[in-house]
Amino acid sequence: MRVGYRVWQALRRATAGLRSRDLSVAAKVLPPDAYALFERMPAADQDHALCVHARVRDGALVLQQAALMHDVAKGLARVGLWDRTLHVVRRHLSPPAGRWFVLQGHRERLASIEQHAAQGAVLCGQVGLSEDVCELVAHHDGSVPDEELSGRQRELLAELRAADEAC
């Protein structure tokens, strides 16, 4: 686990409301119903999505849309910084240690984080985004095996994951 990067990420998230965001790029890339969903995300999640999008902005439209929507379920669940921190720490522990590392009251929010990719894919489908976008969102966090994806989808997924990790 890159501690310095995670600290930077936490500070960026905590100060997201202090920075101005240009949502016009999301309005241009997303269809109206998807953009409405994007607008409902907290500022920090929008900020992260826009950062990811900026790294793939010259890529295929499906990649750009997935970049903007990949964490939509996490954002709409209103999962806080503390819960996200617990999730990251728990994910980097060995499985037995990770299982006991759940504080009472955080179990539901941690489950929401762990399931956010699948839930986000469903939300993307509900607002009319393509099956390709839904697949990228469902697979972006590595919780679903990539074997079922085509070669092109794997390439796009690798770009999405790299951009996500950089933000």
- What is the structure's pLDDT at 116? 83
What domain range is 32 assigned to? 3-166
- What is the structure's pLDDT at 11? 52
Structure tokens at 67: 């970049």
Tens place of pLDDT per residue across the chain (167 aa): 555 544 545 555 555 444 557 899 999 999 999 999 999 999 999 999 999 999 999 999 999 999 999 999 987 756 665 555 555 555 555 554 445 545 555 555 555 567 889 999 999 999 999 999 999 999 998 877 888 889 999 999 999 999 999 99
- What is the structure's pLDDT at 127? 98
Helix (H, G, I), strand (E, B) or coil at 98: helix
- Specify the pTM: 0.75
- What is the structure's pLDDT at 38? 97
Structure tokens at 120: 């986000």
- Nearest to residue 79, comparing CAs of 124, 47, 115? 115
- What is the structure's pLDDT at 3? 52
Q: How far apart are CA 3 and CA 1, in angstroms?
A: 6
Domain count, the chain: 1
CA distances from 20 to 24, 29, 47, 63, 164 (A): 12, 19, 9, 24, 20
